[in-house]
Amino acid sequence: MSRSPLLLPLTLALAAALPLGAHAADARKATLTVGDTPLIPRAALFGNPVKSGAQLSPDGQWLSWMAPVNGVMNVWVAPADKPEAARAVTNSTDRPIPGHFWSGNSEQLLFVKDNAGDENFRLYGVDVKTGAQRDYTPFDKVRVRMLGGSRKRLDEVLVGINNRDPRWHDAYLLNLKTGELKLVMKGDGLAGVETDDDLNVRLGARPNAAGGMDYFQVKDAVVADKPFLSTSLEDNATGPIGYTADGKTLYWRDSRDRDTTAVFAEDVATGERKLIAQDARADLGATLRNTVTGEVQAYAVEYLTTEWQFIDKGLKADFDWLQKQLGKGEVYVSSRTRADDKWIVGIDPVSKVAATYLYDRKARKLSPLYVARPELQNAPLVPMHPVEIKARDGLTLPSYLTLPQGADKNGDGKPEQAVPMVLLVHGGPWARDGHGYNGTHQWLANRGYAVLSVNYRASTGFGKKFLNAGNKQWGLAMHDDLIDAVNWAVKQGVTSADKVAIMGGSYGGYAALAGLTFTPTTFACAVDIVGPSNLETLLGTIPPYWEAGKKQMYSRMGDPTTDEGKAILRAASPLYKADQIVKPLLIGQGANDPRVKQAESDQIVQAMQAKNIPVTYVLYPDEGHGFAKPNNRIGFNAIAENFLGNCLGGRVEPLGETVRQSTAQIAHGADFLPGLKAAAEKK
């Protein structure tokens, strides 16, 4: 397990950099100006990047990245010294491949892919030299997990497959050259396992009655009778990071006896622990580890922004040099060779277009690889301002505010006069918003809105007190945090009380529904994307492979097997207050969503129809938990943009052909949004 805490987020990246439909080229060429600021085409923000996700093969001989083939994102590969000789090695024609990674032997490119958003991911591999593609896990209704790779056993990986029992992932040794799968151990009752560099399963994690995890030693595929470490719900951020290459040291994130997680190194033989890193502001996040030994070299602290702290002085020298060369913004490393002589690096300047480079460490040389979205190079992108907002009980909410161009002439993060605002709520809820380029923030700001993203209580990364303050607070203190953030924005002069919309996906969609039902007059309108309306039915229909996380979800939300828990869940469900809705609502849903079933949207729409309350409901038959296909994402955002413009008065790019070119089915309420019915009619 790379991350042991089983928080099972219902997350949705609203504007992920995924593929672009065929109409995008025309949209990119469009010259759209409303007022003094050019209107950035939606296709430029939400369509295909030219390239993305570059990786180096471990031996440094190959470069790979994601790029479109006939409008669908696929995997490309090129010799590292000849990027111009790139060729596509996958041929997905229906759905974008979400990403890829290299085998240890540098001979196969690996990727996962599901069917129409059902999240039953299969593992595939492509032989780099021959182009032959293999389906390593040819099982229906099965979800594969990567459990471990190795610096020693280069032709093999350990994968988890739930084809025996859909609730549990059994560990299999997969030979990447022959495709042979060999059962290593059954996973009954285990939330996950930790493997060493020899691909031995060394640890197993099992949920306990306290809502935490019990950690067991595993030897020769046999799980010990008694746990050697146990956590409660409060300390569920505690868990293993991974072993060093020699298997003698195991790194942990641990929040026990402290608020924020720290990184410890444990001597496996003696059990002695050494504190490696800590920060009182935030849980420690990503680490950089030696590509040969596996030792931690650096760690990230992400409070308002991401700060890298270095244990390895040589690594720090590289980052310092890269920062000077690349300028303002966050430097990140996305790939390293096994010899650690070459890196893929990037810079995120937030309000400028990100660029990706090949870095030769020995020569101290940067070679440009690509700009992911060159059409945005001259676009009017704007800064994102980190802010701290006080909740009514004194809790500090780390948040991010983006303002329209020209609204903040002196650059102090406050507009000269109030503007309409969109409260953009992250999914999870056990996830977080962060600082950096955000396509949704840029889009909405370009349309004339302030955009506020709030890390409400229950968000991860800010310590266990912050996380656990959200336990059983759906629709209560978690929602109060969002209301407090709106009141802060009004008091600061960012917006006016009658010009605020709420929008989000997954939990953010739930928050949008809660906004219109629990606080009916606070928001001018709401956009709900794959949001649950009934928490009882949500928990009753979660995928079977979430079995290990049920206890934790029940502890954090309410236990549907008890009368008390049912009462909590029912009180927090917007469905039962649908008759309170008095403001416009737009709902987007994927028909194949395995996390938040279509019924979650259907039932609140039906409840509103029964009371003759207007609602616009858009269904996508080929999508799951969010909109992966660019024509669908662009199409829904076109609808949302027109909906927000009608509600808040912001700038609008015409619907054009975007809705027709998507698979959108206007299940209800096409007449409630001007022009939608005509725009949706197929030619």
Which residues are catalytically annotated?
506, 593, 625
Q: How far apart are CA 11 and CA 7, in angstroms?
A: 11
Strand partners, 342: 360
Asked if 310 contacts 264 with a C-beta cutoff of 8 angstroms, the reply is no
Asked if 530 contacts 12 with a C-beta cutoff of 8 angstroms, the reply is yes
Q: How far apart are CA 180 and CA 172, in angstroms?
A: 9
Q: What are phi and psi of 308, to 5 degrees?
A: -95, 135
Asked if 236 contacts 552 with a C-beta cutoff of 8 angstroms, the reply is yes
Strand partners, 556: none
Strands (E), 268-371: 273-277, 284-289, 296-302, 306-310, 330-336, 342-348, 355-360, 365-371
For the record, the structure tokens of 603 come out as 């039932």
Residue 445 burial (CB count, 10 A): 28
Best CA proximity match to 518, nearest among 451, 448, 449, 571: 571
For the record, the structure tokens of 460 come out as 């991860």
DSSP conformation letters of 245-278? TTSSEEEEEE-TTSSS-EEEEEETTT--EEEEE-
Using only the alpha carbons of the chain, give its radius of gyration.
24
Asked if 456 contacts 275 with a C-beta cutoff of 8 angstroms, the reply is no
Asked if 116 contacts 622 with a C-beta cutoff of 8 angstroms, the reply is yes
Tell me which residue has tokens 């700038």: 651
Q: How far apart are CA 334 and CA 148, in angstroms?
A: 19
For the record, the structure tokens of 520 come out as 């009916």
Q: What are phi and psi of 326, to 5 degrees?
A: -95, -15
Torsion on CA atoms 620, 623, 629, 630, rounded to nearest 10: 40
Q: Strand, coil or helix: what is 151?
A: coil
User: In angstroms, how far is CA 244 from the centroid of its own chain?
Assistant: 28
Residue 330: HSE in the Cβ half-sphere, 13 Å Cα cutoff: 18
